[in-house]
């Protein structure tokens, strides 16, 4: 998963419209990002063991790396985009990182550590997706890799509500490339102006808007609920159920 999260502390949070106010067109399809929208990404949970192993083996910088430092080092690798877009295999990525990080984890040990970033306690509930799925078509659109895809499909239940699931490693393109958004629209069978896209990264929200999609920058479930009500997709005053 791509765990970038761009906050602007100086920016005022948007004011939610009055409860039940339907002010925007209702989409026929909703496309959700996964990381930090549906699934919590826990850097510390995933990379502390790797950082500790690096320290034991002699970290490249000669000092103990934090989980965030470890993640930054991994994302800076020249093969990162190839990994996210499915152009190298899990075994090749494993060998690559073991060399870069100077570690000797087996592929299975590395797979287990890599998947620990996906916190099993989700941000949004299956109940919300059931409600939305009764009103429009649903899709997932995520920059992610084959190891995380396997874990998401096996260990999380929300996928059942998303007949369309577009992963960067499966289509050979990643956000903000127009190609990955178009892959989702083609699979859904809807034009851009009939689709709503939800992501926590402003760059990816902007890319969707340039293609003609309606788009929401996800910040928290309550604000998302307000935006969905504005589009006639939710009723009442409460936010989406949070697990």
DSSP string, 187-228: HHT--GGGEEEEES-HHHHHHHHHTT-EEEE---HHHHHHHH
Share of the chain above pLDDT 70, in %: 84
Q: What's the Cα-to-Cα distance from 180 to each of 23, 86, 201, rounded to whole Å? A: 29, 13, 15
CA 175 to chain centroid, in Å, comes to 11
What is the rounded distance in angstroms from the CA atom of residue 183 to the CA atom of residue 125?
A: 26
DSSP-assigned beta bridge partners for residue 30: 138, 196
Find the helix packing angle between 43-57 and 90-101, rounded to 10°: 50
**pLDDT tens digits, residue range 130-168?**
999 999 999 999 999 999 999 999 999 999 999 999 999
List the domains of the chain with CATH numbers.
29-40+121-230 (3.40.50.1000), 43-115 (no CATH)
**pLDDT tens digits, residue range 184-218?**
999 999 999 999 999 999 999 999 999 999 999 99
Average pLDDT over residues 60-65: 56
**pLDDT tens digits, residue range 99-124?**
988 888 899 999 999 999 999 999 99
What was the pLDDT predicted at 62?
46
What was the pLDDT predicted at 68?
79
What is the rounded distance in angstroms from the CA atom of residue 242 to the CA atom of residue 83?
A: 32
């Amino acid at each position: 998963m791509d765990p970038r999260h761009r906050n602007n502390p100086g920016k005022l949070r948007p004011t939610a419209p009055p409860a039940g106010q339907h002010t925007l067109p209702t989409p026929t399809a909703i496309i959700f990002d996964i990381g930090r929208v549906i699934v919590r990404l826990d850097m510390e949970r995933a990379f502390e063991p790797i950082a500790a192993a690096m320290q034991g083996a002699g970290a490249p910088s000669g000092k103990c790396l934090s989980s965030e430092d470890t993640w930054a080092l991994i994302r800076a690798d020249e093969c990162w985009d190839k990994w996210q877009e499915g152009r190298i295999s899990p075994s090749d990525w494993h060998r690559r990182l073991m060399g870069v990080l100077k570690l000797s984890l087996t592929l299975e040990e590395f797979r287990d550590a890599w998947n620990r970033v996906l916190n099993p306690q989700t941000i949004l509930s299956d109940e919300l997706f059931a409600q939305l799925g009764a009103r429009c078509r649903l899709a997932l659109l995520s920059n992610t890799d084959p190891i995380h895809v396997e874990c998401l499909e096996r260990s999380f239940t929300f996928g059942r509500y998303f007949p369309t699931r577009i992963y960067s490693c499966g289509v050979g393109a990643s956000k903000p490339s127009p190609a990955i958004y178009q892959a989702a629209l083609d699979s859904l069978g809807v034009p851009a102006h009939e689709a709503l896209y939800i992501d926590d990264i402003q760059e990816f929200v902007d890319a969707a808007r340039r293609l003609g999609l309606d788009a929401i920058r996800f910040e928290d479930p309550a604000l998302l609920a307000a935006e969905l009500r504005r589009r006639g997709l939710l009723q009442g005053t409460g936010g989406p159920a949070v697990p």
